[in-house]
Chains A and B, each alone.
Chain A
Amino acid sequence: MKDFEPKIIGFLCTWCSYAGADLAGTSRIQYPSNIRIIRVMCSGRVNPMFVVNALQQGADGVLIGGCHPGDCHYQHGNYQARRRITMMKKLLEFLGIEPDRVRMTWVSAAEGRKFAQVIEEVTEDIRKLGPMKQVRRKNEW
């Protein structure tokens, strides 16, 4: 049997985390290819529904990356994201989904190495958790 390769969806804010991912690229820092990145303007744009939806559709883990606290390009979008995600993780537990499948992180535009490190950690964590089985549902639309 093939080793389990988790699928991870990453929501990254344009200004910090996405730029950090770009920096990891331009610095040629290698990291696992399990992450699929979706660019949003601000981590505050990440509706908890997106996270649940990603887990339903086939993702095994979700990463949300924003600017460091106090550094949000949109003043406090990252704080709102943090609150929502913290709240949502509690609800995930309630649904029987391991809250560790969802992770929020702060990566600045200057932290290419940190970005790669985060991806490695997340991939490893999700690999340990195994495939996501619960509440899987295909949206047909």
Chain B
Amino acid sequence: MKIGVYVCECGSNIADTVDTEEVADSVKLLPNVAVSRVYKYKCSDPGQELIRQDIEEFGLDKVVVAACSPSMHEPTFRAVLEDKGLNPYCLEMVNIREQCSWVHADKDKGTDKAVSLVKGAVMRSELMEPLDRKKVGVISKALVIGGGIAGIQAALDIANSGFQVTLVEKKSTIGGKMAQLDKTFPTLDCSQCILSPKMVDVGRHPNITLYANSEVKQVDGYIGNFKVKIKRNPRYVIEDKCTLCDDCVPVCPVIVHDEYNENLSPRKAIYIANPQAVPASYIINPDNCLGIEPLICSKCRDVCGPEAIDFDMREEIIEDEFGAIVVATGYETYPIENIGEYGYGTIQDVISGLEFERILAANGPTAGLVRRPSDGRIPQTVIFIHCAGSRDPAKNLSYCSKICCMYATKHALQYKHHVHSGLAVNFYIDIRTGGKDYEEFYKRAAEEENVIFIRGKVSEVLQDGDRILIKGVNTLTAETIEMHADMVVLATGIQPSEGTKEISNLLKLSRDMSGFVKEAHPKLKPVETSISGVYIAGTVSGPKDIPDVVSHAGRAAIRSINILAQKELEVEATIAKVNDVLCRGCGMCVDSCPYGAIELKAIDRYGYTFEIADVNAAVCKGCGTCAATCLNGAIDQLGYTDSQILSLIKALADE
């Protein structure tokens, strides 16, 4: 075995505080070291060339580079080895810049430490083995979970690139929360008008299979090869036959709250979520309907001309395989009844932001007229309370929900547009208008349209006759405020949806302190997750406004296409490996594996059947937890084997 050792001076970065010559000399006499050199810039072209020449001249089979952190130049030097036909895993990097020269000003101590680190690396490299990166095939189909604007955008972007997409939505229609909005800030575009064309595109796209009223129930497999079970809940209306004639609705005797209008209006047991719904078909809610087991009423079926209603529809499990998954399960509004002092739930005219959105909407419960829920009067004074739930680490959400400042400002502005004589007052902690044209929008509301902004929190909201009494404080003037209003709108914060929790448990995605799905890197990998091949789009990873969601979803689509466009994928080589002879099949590694990459398989040995551990190379991420768990030392992590680490320990702990 011949090892080449290269000590980099990194200009003066290393050489100033580490005696590089001494480091290089210290390992020259070790057995197996064929050559040990110092070079000024090892990562430069001539520096790399030197290694290439030595590999040829000395026939090196292992290379140790003592330079900067492996996170910096490990790929560079691995490529050098590959150039010359060596296995890239026969490289060992020693970090004598970040760990020696930059942090230890004392040259003797720094040099001592560098010498022992390099010796350790040489001893470890003696035990290194060439490793193969395994290849797995890719199924060029994507699964998008969640049909809000994020899921819609991701599905369309993937489908437009020519790949098949399956979009699964829990509700009866896609569109999500955005379909409930009246207008969007800062342009005051009608939300439905910009969303519905995209929804229709999804419904019609030849590459998109849409499963509405369905849920993802099980996900197995790994990047490129996910096996997914989707449960399609019965709609009781045959989508293709329904002509949207609306004959069934008047005859239905069951009246319940309409979720689409935030329970402010009634609907029937057979209904369509909204006129723009995709898939464009009515649906029967089995919890409301009297026709489903037992069949008490069948009035809708009797009047249905095209015979679209089928009470015998059963749920269906669809099994399919996908190469990549986009999770776009979105958010839900914070349960503001938790904030007792605001009186939501006990005072009728205290409503949430989303409820006000429905009241403003032309297709909402009041047909676009601003009327308060209690008596239907047009409110003359409306108070908008910002941060309802957000930025309150003691009791509610600790984070800023990002969108509420803007939508509360928008609400106030829209109210003023509807009720010209009305008074709109906003209570805020801070106004956060980070976004294109947002500050201008806020300025317009405050300066041109006479929306009043008071800096301070509301401490109490009380019913006072048929009006509402607000107690608060103006923190800029340090005055307490008591004022009456006809209606109070809470700028509700947002939190991860139930679906986000369920799906992240199903896919084993890690979540942050607030429950949102965590990105692989908060800055540079905003759509990647801890699981390769699973990407996140939209508010599933934290509060976002619509433009952010659309661009986020676009990147999730691109990252999925990166996977789908490949014939096969290379997976990391430093994975777990089982020694069949030592393994006694206790299964402790199976339990310890965070990814379910290890299974017990039966093998035949000397005519007996044994169970031993078996690692799925495509699923294993190479954390090595199993190797530390195994009592027999039967499972080891390639590239970080027990013997390699022990030899390092021996070298580093040695006097």
Residues of chain A touching chain B, judged by Cβ–Cβ distance below 8 Å, are 7, 9, 18-19, 21-22, 24-26, 28-31, 33, 36-42, 44-50, 53-54, 57-59, 70-77, 80-81, 84, 116, 139
Residues A72 and B640 in contact, CB atoms below 8 Å apart: no
> Which chain A residue lies CB-closest to B113?
A33
Residues A28 and B652 in contact, CB atoms below 8 Å apart: no
Residues of A within 8 A of B106 (CB): 33
A73 to B104 alpha-carbon distance, docked (Å):
29
Residue B379 interfacial (CB < 8 Å): no
> Which chain A residue lies CB-closest to B646?
A53
7 closest residue pairs by CB, A with B: A25-B98, A45-B624, A44-B625, A74-B623, A42-B623, A58-B653, A75-B594
A48 to B625 alpha-carbon distance, docked (Å):
12
Closest Cβ–Cβ distance, residue A137 to chain B (whole Å):
11
> Which chain B residue lies CB-closest to A139?
B650
Residue B558 interfacial (CB < 8 Å): no
Q: Contact partner of B650 among A21, A22, A57, A73, CB < 8 A?
A: A57
Residues B623 and A77 in contact, CB atoms below 8 Å apart: yes
Q: Contact partner of B71 among A19, A42, A46, A50, CB < 8 A?
A: A19
A57 to B650 alpha-carbon distance, docked (Å):
6
Residues B98 and A36 in contact, CB atoms below 8 Å apart: no
Q: Contact partner of B574 among A31, A33, A41, CB < 8 A?
A: A41
Residues B513 and A50 in contact, CB atoms below 8 Å apart: no
With known contacts A50-B646, A75-B594, A36–B627 Cβ distance under 8 A: no
Residues 382-411 of B, flagged 1 when their CB comes within 8 A of A and 0 if not, give: 000000000000000000000000000000
Closest Cβ–Cβ distance, residue B523 to chain A (whole Å):
11
Residues of B within 8 A of A28 (CB): 102-103
Interface residues in B416-430 by Cβ distance below 8 A to A read none
Residues of A within 8 A of B110 (CB): 33
A-B contact sample (6 more), CB < 8 A, given A45-B628, A75-B594, A139-B650: A25-B95, A31-B103, A37-B99, A40-B645, A53-B646, A75-B530
Number of residues of chain B lying within 8 A (CB) of chain A: 50
Residues of chain B touching chain A, judged by Cβ–Cβ distance below 8 Å, are 69-71, 95, 97-100, 102-106, 109-110, 112-113, 116-117, 120, 508, 510, 512-513, 518, 530, 574, 592, 594-595, 621-625, 627-629, 637, 640, 642, 645-646, 648-650, 652-655
Q: Contact partner of B105 among A30, A46, A75, CB < 8 A?
A: A30
Residues A80 and B592 in contact, CB atoms below 8 Å apart: yes
Residues A44 and B623 in contact, CB atoms below 8 Å apart: yes
Residues A26 and B99 in contact, CB atoms below 8 Å apart: no
Closest Cβ–Cβ distance, residue A138 to chain B (whole Å):
9
A57 to B642 alpha-carbon distance, docked (Å):
15
A7 to B109 alpha-carbon distance, docked (Å):
12
Closest Cβ–Cβ distance, residue B365 to chain A (whole Å):
42
> Which chain A residue lies CB-closest to B109?
A33
Residues of B within 8 A of A41 (CB): 574, 622-624, 637, 640
Residues B623 and A50 in contact, CB atoms below 8 Å apart: no
Residues B69 and A54 in contact, CB atoms below 8 Å apart: no
Residues B70 and A39 in contact, CB atoms below 8 Å apart: yes
Residues B594 and A74 in contact, CB atoms below 8 Å apart: yes
Residues of A within 8 A of B650 (CB): 57, 139
> Which chain B residue lies CB-closest to A84?
B628
Closest Cβ–Cβ distance, residue B152 to chain A (whole Å):
30
With known contacts A25-B103, A33-B104, A9–B627 Cβ distance under 8 A: no
Closest Cβ–Cβ distance, residue B391 to chain A (whole Å):
22
Residues B98 and A80 in contact, CB atoms below 8 Å apart: no
Residues of A within 8 A of B642 (CB): 47, 49
> Which chain A residue lies CB-closest to B572?
A41
A36 to B123 alpha-carbon distance, docked (Å):
15
Residues B649 and A73 in contact, CB atoms below 8 Å apart: no
Closest Cβ–Cβ distance, residue A62 to chain B (whole Å):
9
A73 to B572 alpha-carbon distance, docked (Å):
15
> Which chain A residue lies CB-closest to B574?
A41
With known contacts A22-B71, A25-B97, A36–B530 Cβ distance under 8 A: no
Closest Cβ–Cβ distance, residue B654 to chain A (whole Å):
6
A75 to B621 alpha-carbon distance, docked (Å):
11
